[in-house]
Chains A and B, each alone.
Chain A
Amino acid sequence: MYDQIGIWVAAFFTLAIYSFLYKENPVYRFAEHAVVGISLGYSMVYVYNTVLEPRLLEPLFVRGQIALLPVLLLGLLYITRFFRSVSWLSRYPIAVVFGMAMGLSFPRTMLSMVLRQAEATVIPIYQSGYAWHDVLGSLVIIIGTLTALIYFFFSKPHKGWFFGTGSRIGIWIIMIAFGATFGFTVMGRISLLIGRVQFLLTDWLHVIQ
Chain B
Amino acid sequence: MTIWDRLFNIDRRWIFLLMGVVTVVPFFFKMGLPVITTEEVEGIYNHVDSLDHDNAVMIGFDYQPGTMAENQPMSEAVMRHCFARKIPVFITAFWPLGNGLAEQAITTLTDPAKPGTFQRVRYNEWREYDYGDEELPDRVTHAELVELWERDHELREDAMGWVFEGVDYVLLGYAPLFHIVLLGMGRSITSQYPSDLYGNPTEDMPIVKRNKSAREVDMGLTVSGSSTVLSWLTYARESYGMPIAFGVTAVSATDYLVYIQSGQILGQMGGLRGAAEYEVMLERDDYAVEMGRAFMGMDVQSIVHVLIVILVVLGNIAYFAGGYHRKGRRLKAGR
Interface residues of A (CB under 8 A from B): 21-22, 39, 42-43, 46-47, 50-51, 54, 97, 100-101, 104-105, 108-109, 111-113, 116-117, 119-120, 141, 177, 180-181, 184-198, 201, 207-208
B70 at interface (Cβ–Cβ under 8 A)? yes
From A119, A185, A198, give the contact of B293 (CB < 8 A).
Answer: A198
Binary CB contact string for chain B from 217 to 261 against chain A (1 if under 8 A, 0 otherwise): 000000000000010011101110000000001110111001001
Q: Which of B190-221 contact A (CB under 8 A)?
A: 194-195, 197, 199
Contact yes or no, B23 A191, CB < 8 A: no
Known: A46-B174, A184-B253. A191 touches B301 (CB 8 A): yes
- From B39-47, B76-84, B262-270, give the one contacting chain A: B262-270
Contact yes or no, B271 A187, CB < 8 A: yes
The distance from the CB of A68 to the nearest CB of chain B, in whole angstroms, is: 13
Contact yes or no, B235 A108, CB < 8 A: yes
Q: Please report the C-alpha to C-alpha distance between residue A185 and residue B253 in the assembled complex, in whole angstroms.
A: 9
B67 at interface (Cβ–Cβ under 8 A)? yes
Q: Please report the C-alpha to C-alpha distance between residue A180 and residue B95 in the assembled complex, in whole angstroms.
A: 29
* Count of chain B residues near A, Cβ 8 A: 58
**Smallest CB-CB separation from B263: which chain A residue?**
A120
Contact yes or no, B97 A43, CB < 8 A: yes
Q: Please report the C-alpha to C-alpha distance between residue A111 and residue B230 in the assembled complex, in whole angstroms.
A: 12
The distance from the CB of B175 to the nearest CB of chain A, in whole angstroms, is: 7
**Smallest CB-CB separation from A54: which chain B residue?**
B195
Contact yes or no, B176 A47, CB < 8 A: yes
Q: Please report the C-alpha to C-alpha distance between residue A190 and residue B69 in the assembled complex, in whole angstroms.
A: 10
Contact yes or no, B67 A192, CB < 8 A: yes
Contact yes or no, A116 B96, CB < 8 A: no
Which chain A positions have C-beta within 8 A of B176?
47, 51
Which chain B positions have C-beta within 8 A of A105?
179, 234-235
From A120, A187, A190, give the contact of B261 (CB < 8 A).
Answer: A120
Known: A108-B238, A141-B261, A197-B24. A22 touches B13 (CB 8 A): yes
**Smallest CB-CB separation from B72: which chain A residue?**
A195
From B16, B23, B239, give the contact of A197 (CB < 8 A).
Answer: B23
**A-side interface mostly:** helix
B156 at interface (Cβ–Cβ under 8 A)? no
**B-side interface mostly:** helix
B136 at interface (Cβ–Cβ under 8 A)? no
Q: Please report the C-alpha to C-alpha distance between residue A117 and residue B68 in the assembled complex, in whole angstroms.
A: 30
Contact yes or no, B96 A47, CB < 8 A: yes
Other A-B pairs beyond A187-B250, A194-B297, A195-B293, 10, CB < 8 Å: A42-B96, A108-B239, A112-B234, A116-B264, A120-B258, A141-B261, A185-B251, A190-B308, A193-B23, A194-B300
Contact yes or no, A191 B250, CB < 8 A: yes
The distance from the CB of A10 to the nearest CB of chain B, in whole angstroms, is: 10
Q: Please report the C-alpha to C-alpha distance between residue A17 and residue B81 in the assembled complex, in whole angstroms.
A: 35
Q: Please report the C-alpha to C-alpha distance between residue A50 and residue B172 in the assembled complex, in whole angstroms.
A: 10
**Smallest CB-CB separation from B233: which chain A residue?**
A112
Which chain B positions have C-beta within 8 A of A39?
64, 97
Which chain A positions have C-beta within 8 A of B238?
108, 111-112
Contact yes or no, B96 A46, CB < 8 A: yes
Contact yes or no, B97 A198, CB < 8 A: no
What are 21 A-B interface contacts by the 8 Å CB criterion? A47-B176, A50-B174, A54-B199, A104-B179, A104-B235, A105-B234, A111-B238, A141-B261, A184-B251, A184-B253, A185-B251, A187-B273, A191-B249, A193-B19, A194-B23, A194-B297, A195-B68, A195-B297, A197-B23, A197-B27, A208-B27
